[in-house]
Amino acid sequence: MPAMEKPAGNFFLVGLMGAGKTTVGRALARRTDKTFYDSDHEIEARTGVRVATIFDIEGELRFRDRETSVIADLARLDNIVLATGGGAIIRPQNRACLAAHGTVIYLRATIDDLLARTLHDKNRPLLQIANPRGKLESLFQERDPLYREVADIVVDTTQQNVSLLVARLMEQLSGLPPKHRPEQGS
């Protein structure tokens, strides 16, 4: 049986915190010989501080400004897999940027799975509250339509093995025409 051809273009992973964007993104990048980036990690590398600290000191609005800048910079690169922050799709310009520069993959999971994956993670500033389940439910209601709007593919990550998930994703990606970034003037 011939090896599956590696899909061309950039892949952008969107979804709520805990959906598996970083884990699946790393595995997908290895499988497709692309460079992996995580927008939150890139923000931390550029600022020298953790995302939670940016939220505490500058607030969510300023964090979103930084996130928009990082996404715009990374989306211009070729052959990457980018795991975006869960709230990246809030801003229309981020959704437009992702859609214009690659294939957008929405990783979707149940609230129970999201809660189990994030419950003890102190680097989730939006969940450091008395009722994290309620917050996740609220975020899901608010963001699910935006994730769906921008997504080329929706993948359920509930109770999924990463290798099988990436194999399924590769099959779906092979059926899509590659989305290339628009040509830039010299």
pLDDT in tens, 66-76: 999 999 999 99
Q: Please count the structural domains in the chain.
A: 1
CATH number of the domain at 15, please: 3.40.50.300
The answer to the question of whether 62 is labelled as a binding residue is no
Asked, for residue 21, whether it belongs to a domain, the answer is yes
* pLDDT recorded at residue 3: 47
Give residues with Cβ within 8 angstroms of 31, minimum separation 6.
6, 166, 170
pTM of this prediction?
0.86
The answer to the question of whether 18 is labelled as a binding residue is yes
Asked, for residue 76, whether it belongs to a domain, the answer is yes
Q: Return the residue matching tokens 């809660």.
A: 115
The answer to the question of whether 50 is labelled as a binding residue is no
How would you write the pLDDT of the chain (186 residues) with one tens digit per residue? 344 455 668 999 999 888 899 999 999 999 999 999 999 999 999 999 998 899 889 998 999 999 999 999 999 999 999 999 999 999 999 999 999 999 999 999 988 888 887 765 555 555 565 677 888 899 999 999 999 999 999 999 887 789 999 998 998 888 776 664 434 333
With beta carbons less than 8 A apart as the criterion, state whether 153 and 100 touch.
Answer: no
The answer to the question of whether 152 is labelled as a binding residue is no
Query: Residues in the chain, how many?
Result: 186
Asked, for residue 139, whether it belongs to a domain, the answer is yes
* pLDDT recorded at residue 7: 63
* pLDDT recorded at residue 128: 60
Q: Return the residue matching tokens 């899909």.
A: 7
Q: Which residues of 36-65 are buried (b: 16+ CB within 10 A; e: fewer)?
A: bbbbbebbbeeeeeebbebbeeeeeeebbe
The answer to the question of whether 148 is labelled as a binding residue is no
Task: Domain of residue 53: give its range.
Answer: 11-173
The answer to the question of whether 40 is labelled as a binding residue is yes
The answer to the question of whether 175 is labelled as a binding residue is no
Asked, for residue 180, whether it belongs to a domain, the answer is no
Asked, for residue 46, whether it belongs to a domain, the answer is yes
The answer to the question of whether 46 is labelled as a binding residue is no
